[in-house]
Amino acid sequence: MEPIIEIRDLKKVYKQGDVDVHALRGLDLSVDSGDFVSIVGPSGCGKSTLFNILGGLTPPTSGSVHIKGHDLLAMTDSARTDLRKKMVGFVFQKYNLLPTLTVEDNIEIARHIAGDYGKPKDPSFEQALDMLGLRTRLGRKPKQLSGGEQQRVAIARAIVNHPAILLADEPTGNLDTENSELVLGLLKRLNEETGQTILMITHNPEAAAYGHRMVKMRDGRIVA
């Protein structure tokens, strides 16, 4: 079976003033569909850059990156925007919910952007909503929710369009131990029950252990 993510010799160079910053220095990675991969490494090792490239937020400099057969290097800005609509779901450390919208609208806006607004939701998403325990929170605003609840809303928003991959960037970074375990448990269930492919950045070895496998990064490369 062809991997859902296929990365070969990926390089990313940023310009910082007149200085070139080599964030990724020839990275190779394959991820199969349904995998749950934890990516660990020290700050500045290129984890976030890898996520930004996989999420279509920034283009690679060279190498090849394929998600479900789509070549990211060949994509225009507009094509990468389309990629984010349905192919990728993001979960951020700071939740990044829209503060003026209710929980339901925070989820619905992702469908609106993807052009699915008004269409009936997939039954599997309804099940996920129950699994995330958000059914009774739909009318609330983010500030009325705990950090753990906000992160669960962010997960719901990330999976509402059934993305090929879910990218979670330090999803427990702002949570206490109890909520961290809850969120990580939910990600694991999501992966096991729906087959959702997940890539998770974390500093926490305990959190990383929730994945099927752990990938270590250093200096823009995968070292283990």
Partner 1 sequence: MRTALSVVGIGVSVAMVLTLVGVSQGMLQESVRQKRGTGADIMIRPSGAALIGFSADMTAKVVPVVREFPEVALAAGTLVVPIGGVNSVTGVNLDEFGQLSGGFRYIDGGPFRNPDDVIIDDVMAKTENLHVGDTLKNMLNRNWHVCGIVEPGKLARIFLPLPLLQELTGNTNKVTVVYVKLKDPSKTDAVVNEFKQRLGDLKIYSMEEFASLLSIDNIPMLKTFIRVVIGLGIIFGAVTVSLAMYTAVLERTREIGILKALGASPAYILRLLLAETALLGAIGALVGIAFTYATRSLMNEFVPSMTTVIVPELWPIAICAAIAGALIGAIYPGLKAAKQDAIEAIAYD
Which residues contact partner 1 by CB under 8 A? Answer: 52, 55, 57-58, 78, 81-86, 90, 92, 96-99, 109-110, 113-114, 157
Q: Which residues have C-beta within 8 Å of that of residue 135, sequence separation ≥ 6?
A: 129
Q: Cα 130 from chain centroid?
A: 21
- Exposure of 59 by Cβ count < 10 A (0-12 exposed, 13-18 middle, 19+ buried)? middle
Nearer to partner 1, 132 or 158 (CB): 158
197-201 vs 165-169, strand pairing mode: parallel
Closest distance to partner 1 from the beta carbon of 214 (Å): 25
Nearer to partner 1, 99 or 120 (CB): 99
> Residue ranges of the alpha helices (H) in 91-224?
103-114, 123-131, 147-159, 177-194, 205-208
Closest distance to partner 1 from the beta carbon of 87 (Å): 9
Closest distance to partner 1 from the beta carbon of 110 (Å): 5
Q: Distance between CA 90 and CA 19 in Å, rounded? A: 30
Nearer to partner 1, 110 or 208 (CB): 110
Q: Which residues have C-beta within 8 Å of that of residue 153, sequence separation ≥ 6?
A: 95, 97, 103, 106, 107, 132, 134, 137, 142, 145
84: its two tokens: 């984010």
Closest distance to partner 1 from the beta carbon of 97 (Å): 8
Q: Distance between CA 194 and CA 127 in Å, rounded? A: 10
Nearer to partner 1, 113 or 214 (CB): 113
Closest distance to partner 1 from the beta carbon of 81 (Å): 5
Closest distance to partner 1 from the beta carbon of 155 (Å): 14
> Residues 52, 60: contact at Cβ < 8 Å?
no
Nearer to partner 1, 85 or 218 (CB): 85
Q: Which of 5, 19, 114, 110 is nearest to 60 (CA)?
A: 5
Nearer to partner 1, 201 or 208 (CB): 201
